[in-house]
Amino acid sequence: MNTKRVPHYAMTLGGYRTSLSYPVLSSHSYLPREERLKIGITDGMMRVSVGMENTEDLVNDFMQALEVFGK
C-alpha cells in the first residue's frame, strides 16, 4: 500500500477522499478467519471507497500498485 499516491488508508470510510480499508484488521476483525472466508472476506481483500479525486489519477495509481504487487 505504500506505492499509492491518491488513495489513503482509513479506518473510517466517511469523507470525500478515496480511501482503502483492510476488513481483516478493521470491520471484520472480530470474526475468526474461517467465518470471514465463508462470507467472502479473504485475507487479501481491500475495500476501496472512491472519492472525488481525478479519475485518471486514481486509475493510474491503482495500475501502478497492481504492477508492484503482481511481481
Would you kindly state where each structural domain of the chain is located, as residue ranges? 8-69
User: For 8-69, which CATH class?
Assistant: alpha beta
pLDDT, greater one: 30 or 70: 30
Q: What is the pLDDT of residue 20?
A: 86
Give percent above pLDDT 90 in the chain: 46
In angstroms, the CA 2 to CA 38 distance is: 29
Determine how many CB atoms are found less than 10 A away from the CB of residue 7.
Answer: 22
Return mean pLDDT, the chain. 84
Non-local (6+) Cβ contacts of 13 within 8 A are 19, 21, 47, 49
Q: Please tell me the total number of residues recorded for the chain in this structure.
A: 71
In angstroms, the CA 4 to CA 12 distance is: 18
pLDDT in tens, 13-26: 567 888 888 999 98
